[in-house]
Amino acid sequence: MTNFRGYRTALIGVTALSALAGPPALAQQASSDATQTDAQSLNAIQKQIQQLQRQLQKMQKEAAQRDAQVKAAQAQAAAAQAQAAHAQQTAEHPPTVNPFPAPPPGGQGILNGSVTSVAPPPGSESLAGPSPALLTQTGPGYSLVVGGLTITLGGYVEELGVWRNHNEVADIGSSFNTGIPFKNNPLYYMNEYRQSAHQSRVSALIQGNPDPLTDVAAYMEVDFLGAATTANSLESNSYNPRMRQFYATIDRSDMGLHVLFGQAWSMLTMFKDGIIPRQELIPVVPEADYVVGYNWTRNAQLRVAKDFDNEKYWLGLSVESPEVQYYVGPNGTGTPGSTVTYQRPGGTLLNPLANYSLDSVPDVILKAAADPGYGHYEVYGLGRMFQDRVSQVGAGQTDLVPAGGVGAGAVVPIYYGGHDVLDLQLSGLAGDGIGRYGAALLPDATIGRNGAPMPVPEVEALFGAIGHPLRSLDIYSYIGTEQESASSFSLAGKGYGYGSPLYSNSGCNIELSSLPCVGNTSAVTQLNFGAWWTFLKSDGVGTFLIGPQYSHTIRQTFKGPGGAPAPVEDMFFLSFRYYPFL
């Protein structure tokens, strides 16, 4: 009875707030002062409506789960009665042929999009597994209700083509840094076209409520952008699945406490709402490496967040798996008589063909977020620690060097005629040793004069705008930059570190030149334009989209003997996607 009262209260609240939000009849009767209510008050009311709607959806989900459990129990009872009747009949008239086909694993089968149960033979109830799953539609897409858990399927099929004016020998994930070739490389003079379905994705969200105050969930997401050493594009195009996300969450509504553990988007990544998983603000581009200036990783983490004032304000702390990208120049580390150990090839269960940094503590992220009623706002800090070892025969020293940065971001919707017509976003991160968290993947650190890690200063920024001129059309643009300062020193007339003015770029602009071309990147700037058009959509069937995009990227380098080469790359994308659960 309490749930039905809560359901009715939420429904009355939604109805009342919807009435206040602006029906024409009430608007005409309002006083002149009421008609001057500013957009911020209306947005606050709309926010309250959204919160009540979320509560209503949660209650509806709980009611659907209970109904599913009742139906499952009824189905089990009916199956048991049928088995008893059949057992009695068999005892009286033994069959000459076994009428009970063996069930599939778990005692369930899925035929033509519907879930069917298969009755096990008498005496083999252990084959039946859990109660039969019930296929129920819960809004967009479908969910499988199994016991007290709801399994929501997701993902999409994609075919994507990309053309580049310089050849990176890359799939649909571009390298915005060293992948853009200089003129000394024959690839600079060759165009590139790739066509791929590797970004196609499958996902599953498993949710349950062990008690009225607790929500638990697990989320799994896989694509096919993994490339094992046996992968090629000659004939079978067999590329292996890749774990994107795999995490679990526990949420307590009475405490406003939210816990996440597993592999997920870094908490440093901007969100659209609070600090809520699956509400990350991901660029809508088809490019697999997103856009320059975007701050992100997906890695293992343990995250704890607390919301305040009915999810208006948030505070989160995350400890995340570390990794440092070092750069050592053509002259080595600059530590005569010493050996600097800062990375090694992967050992047990790591990739032996890749180098891994030698970290001793996790990356730590602290974030505060606010949803005051109009827009979403964040401030965050990143703490890191870099480690290496400087050794001589019989002695040595381990160095620990702190690094990190601070950032902020905002997402602001623009309304016209009561509709969200434009979404603006702005984010930035500045600090030392933050290259890993930028899409261009500029170096985090180099080796200093004393052999210790030397973090590289960097600034990253991104501005985006997504317009909604039609219900079936979104138009977007992003402009971003990532810029690093030189971290170098000289010894005996030679340059060391990153961005040294003594590094020669003499051969960078001459094809197949034997002259040196160090070409340390000082900045990467990118401009993107694109659109997504929903050309077919049907409830219960899914959504088809087409998405063209143009990208213009400038790679600038530190000046040295021979100048500062700055190659420019233009890319065109065309994506076709089918979301069967949207």
570 and 444 in a common domain: yes
Residue 187 lies in a domain: no
HEC string of 23-79 equals: CHHHHHHCCHHHHCCCHHHHHHHHHHHHHHHHHHHHHHHHHHHHHHHHHHHHHHHHH
Distance CA 546, CA 574 (A): 7
Burial of 202 (0-12, 13-18, 19+ CB in 10 A): middle
- Bin 573: left if φ > 0, else alpha if -120 < ψ < 50, else beta: beta
With residue 11 as reference, give the H or E element that holds it: helix 2-20
What is the model's pLDDT at position 374? 94
On whether residue 146 sits in a domain, the answer given is no
- State the residue range of the domain holding 526: 236-260+274-579
Could you give the CA distance from residue 522 to residue 519 in angstroms, rounded to a whole number? 9
481 occurs within a structural domain? yes
User: What is the pLDDT at residue 161?
Assistant: 98
Please, are residues 440 and 325 in contact by the beta-carbon 8 Å criterion? no
Would 251 be classed as within a structural domain? Answer: yes
How far is CA 482 from each of CA 169, 332, 386, 429, 517, rounded to the nearest angstrom? Answer: 23, 25, 21, 9, 22
Average pLDDT, rounded, for the chain:
84
Domain count, the chain: 2
Does residue 363 sit in the same domain as residue 499? yes
Question: Which residues of the chain fall short of a pLDDT of 50?
Answer: 1-37, 79, 82, 85-140
Kindly state whether residues 117 and 247 are assigned to the same domain.
no
* Domain end point (choices 84, 116, 137): 137
Exposure letters 211-246 (e unless 16+ CB within 10 A, then b): eeeebbbbbbbbbbbeeeeeeeeeeeeebeeeebbe
Together in a domain, 106 and 244: no
Residue 348 inside a domain? The answer is: yes
Distance from C-alpha of 117 to C-alpha of 107, rounded to nearest angstrom: 7
pLDDT digits (tens, 9 = 90+) for 23-69: 444 344 444 444 444 555 666 666 677 677 677 766 766 665 666 56
| pLDDT score, position 137 | 43
Dihedral of the alpha carbons of 305, 360, 298, 481, in degrees to the nearest 10: 100
269 assigned to some structural domain? no
Give per-residue burial for 469-492: e unless 16+ CB within 10 Å, then b.
eeeeebbbebbbbbbbebbbbeee
Please identify, among 137, 159, 186, the residue that sits at the C-terminal boundary of a domain: 137
Tell whether 167 is covered by a domain: no
Q: Is residue 560 part of a domain?
A: yes
Q: Are 412 and 399 in contact (CB under 8 A)?
A: no
294 and 429 assigned to the same domain: yes
Q: Are residues 246 and 121 in the same domain?
A: no
Q: How far apart are CA 274 and CA 314, in angstroms?
A: 6
pLDDT for the residue 78: 52
Contact 502, 490 (CB under 8 A): yes
Final residue of a structural domain among 137, 168, 183: 137
The answer on 574 and 464 residing in a single domain is yes
pLDDT of 76 reads 58
Q: What distances in angstroms separate CA 340 from CA 123, 330, 493, one per listed residue?
A: 68, 15, 21
DSSP character at residue 327 = -
- The confidence score (pLDDT) of residue 51 equals 74
pLDDT, position 232: 86
